[in-house]
Amino acid sequence: MSIFETAMQATRSVLASRFPSYSFAFASGSIIRGEGRKGSDIDLVVVFDRLETAWRETFIEGELPFEVFVHDPETLSCFFESDIARGYPVIIHMVATGQILGPNPGKGQIWKDYASDILRASPPELEGEKLNALKYQITDLLDDLHGEPAAPEIQAIAAQLYQPLAGLMLLGRGRWSGRGKWIPRLLRDVALDLADSFDDAFRQASAGEVEALCDLTHCELDRHGGPFFAGDKRMASQQARRKSLVS
């Protein structure tokens, strides 16, 4: 039995034993795509007709780790909207690329088609407060790199810079962003030389050399008007208030 067949068999067992009365589900992840390695998990989106609240849980079935996202149509819609607004279509990608399972595959196909349409479209334009907040975060870290930090500090700063810089590079080019291991893949989809520059800059930074990373960061900020620090101001929510802890 292939890894894919084993994974699908385990997924059907999980659905039957842990989520009785579910309507449809999407099994996703590298194992389902036939790219799995040792330790790869199965991403599973399980949809009921109605729930009190959505939840996420992780467990191991046999030798396969599962990360499960449990929803009904209303909670799934809310998470779709959140993914779109942030530009990180995490659960949307699971649905778009997942294998449909369950007693109502027709309902699952409607969601799968909808998710695929979203991914084919461009994310919301990176502008205004969202752009400035990202530029501020990157500029602040860039200033730290310019401060001649020691090698261990360079690695810490570079680790913090990796995600927001990738977000600026992808969203700033009208492409959906991602997290973790998806970043190199998404950058390669934009342009190989861009992905290579990104990888090389962080590789050098891990060895204590910051020039390439600083140059790349300045270049990306300049595409959006340059660094942004002075003038940053963000108002707290009016609900951010509690009875004083000190009398």
Q: Residue 144: give the domain boundaries.
A: 129-222
Same domain, 25 and 83: yes
Which of 120, 138, 173 marks a domain boundary? 120
For residue 247, is it within any domain?
no
Residue 14 and residue 115 share a domain: yes
* 113 and 162 co-located in one domain: no
> Does residue 246 sit within a domain?
no
Q: Are residues 67 and 160 in the same domain?
A: no
Report the domain count for the chain. 2
Digits of tens for pLDDT over the chain (247 positions)?
677 788 899 999 999 999 999 999 999 988 887 766 666 789 999 999 999 999 999 999 888 899 999 999 999 999 999 999 999 999 999 999 999 999 999 999 999 999 999 999 999 999 999 999 999 999 999 999 999 899 999 999 999 999 999 999 999 999 999 998 899 999 999 999 999 999 999 999 999 999 999 999 999 999 999 999 888 888 888 888 888 989 7
* Residues 85, 133 within the same domain: no
Burial 71-93 (b: 16+ CB within 10 A, else e): bbbebbeebbeebbeebbbebbb
Domain check: are 99 and 208 in the same one? no
- Which CATH number goes with the domain that contains 114? 3.30.460.10
Q: Are residues 156 and 100 in the same domain?
A: no
Task: Please indicate, yes or no, whether residues 143 and 95 belong to a single structural domain of this protein.
Answer: no
Q: Work out the end-to-end distance of the chain between its first and last CA atoms, rounded to an integer number of angstroms.
A: 68
Query: Measured between alpha carbons, how far is residue 1 from residues 8, 30, 31 in Å?
Result: 11, 17, 14
- Residue 33 located in a structural domain: yes
Distance (Å, rounded) from C-alpha 12 to C-alpha 25? 10
Q: Which of 66, 91, 120 is the last residue of a domain?
A: 120
Based on the fold, state whether residues 72 and 107 are members of the same structural domain. Answer: yes
